[in-house]
């Protein structure tokens, strides 16, 4: 005796489907099509789905580039662990490391100016979530994700992690300061 008994009727796929079940199947299929179409729609009309470039790299190579940016353009440090705050020149390539449990370094950017921001994890999966702008990006080790950032409003922005990554997940916070542009 096995729990996986073969169907008693050999042509089970031609059996009558309950009306309720048929309605649910239809709802699910239609909703699936709508949600699939929403992806290209929000890509074009939404402000949240970023299109960017992605390059394969290694944690060591990425950390080296990040360190170079920190060494060149750090203007101050802050917090308990003296996290560098980097103020890069307009248009620069800047690097943000996501790791257990930190976004490193912090940045100070000018409103109205564009920067090429590279984001990568050096250990495992994290989620870049810029608040309160609500811009989200998956961050994976080995993949340098590049986005063009043009802050449009001065203020203090927090980067939180929105992929659960262990006991320090809720402490994984970074900062981007946006200052008024020089006009």
Residue from 117, 130, 159, 172 in contact with ligand CUA (CB under 6 A): 172
Residue from 165, 174, 176, 178 in contact with ligand CUA (CB under 6 A): 165
| Chain-centre distance for alpha carbon 94 | 16
Q: Give the shortest CB-172-to-ligand CUA separation in angstroms.
A: 4
Residue 97 sits in the site that holds ligand CUA (CB under 6 A) = no
Residue 145 sits in the site that holds ligand CUA (CB under 6 A) = no
For ligand CUA, the closer CB: 42 or 164: 164
CA–CA gap between residue 102 and residue 40 (Å, rounded)? 32
* Interaction residues for ligand CUA, span 57-76 (CB under 6 A): none
Residue 173 sits in the site that holds ligand CUA (CB under 6 A) = no
Residue 169 sits in the site that holds ligand CUA (CB under 6 A) = yes
- Counting residues that bind ligand CUA (by CB under 6 A) gives 7
Residue 123 sits in the site that holds ligand CUA (CB under 6 A) = no
For ligand CUA, the closer CB: 83 or 126: 126
For ligand CUA, the closer CB: 59 or 181: 59
Q: What is the 3-state secondary structure (H, E, C) of the chain?
A: CCCCCCCCCCCHHHCCCCHHHHHHHHHHHHHHHHHHHHHHHHHHHCCCCCCCEEEECCHHHHHHHHHHHHHHHEEEEECCCCEEEECCCCCCEEEEEEECCEEECEEEEECCCCEEEEEEECCCCEEEEEECCCEEEEECECEEEEEEECCCCCEEEEEEECCCCCCCHHHCEEEEEEECCCC
Residue 163 sits in the site that holds ligand CUA (CB under 6 A) = yes
Residue 126 sits in the site that holds ligand CUA (CB under 6 A) = yes
Q: Tell me which residue of 126, 123, 118 sits closest to 145, measured CA to CA.
A: 118
Contact positions toward ligand CUA, by CB under 6 A?
126, 161, 163-165, 169, 172
């Amino acid at each position: 005796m096995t729990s996986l008994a073969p169907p008693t009727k050999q042509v089970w796929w031609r059996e009558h489907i309950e009306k309720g079940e048929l309605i649910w199947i239809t709802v699910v299929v239609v909703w699936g099509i709508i949600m699939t179409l929403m992806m290209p729609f929000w890509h074009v009309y939404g402000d949240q789905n970023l299109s960017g470039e992605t390059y394969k790299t290694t944690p060591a190579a990425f950390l080296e580039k990040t360190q170079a940016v920190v060494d060149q353009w750090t203007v101050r440090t802050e917090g308990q662990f003296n996290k560098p705050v980097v103020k890069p020149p307009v248009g620069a390539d800047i690097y943000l490391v996501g790791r257990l449990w930190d976004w490193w370094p912090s940045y100070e950017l000018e409103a109205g100016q564009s920067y090429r921001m590279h984001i990568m994890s050096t250990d495992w999966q994290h989620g870049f979530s810029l608040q309160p702008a609500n811009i989200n990006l998956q961050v994976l080790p080995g993949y340098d994700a590049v986005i063009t950032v043009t802050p449009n409003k001065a203020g203090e922005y927090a980067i939180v992690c929105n992929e659960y990554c262990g006991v320090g997940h809720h402490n994984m916070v970074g900062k981007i300061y946006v200052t008024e542009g020089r006009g």
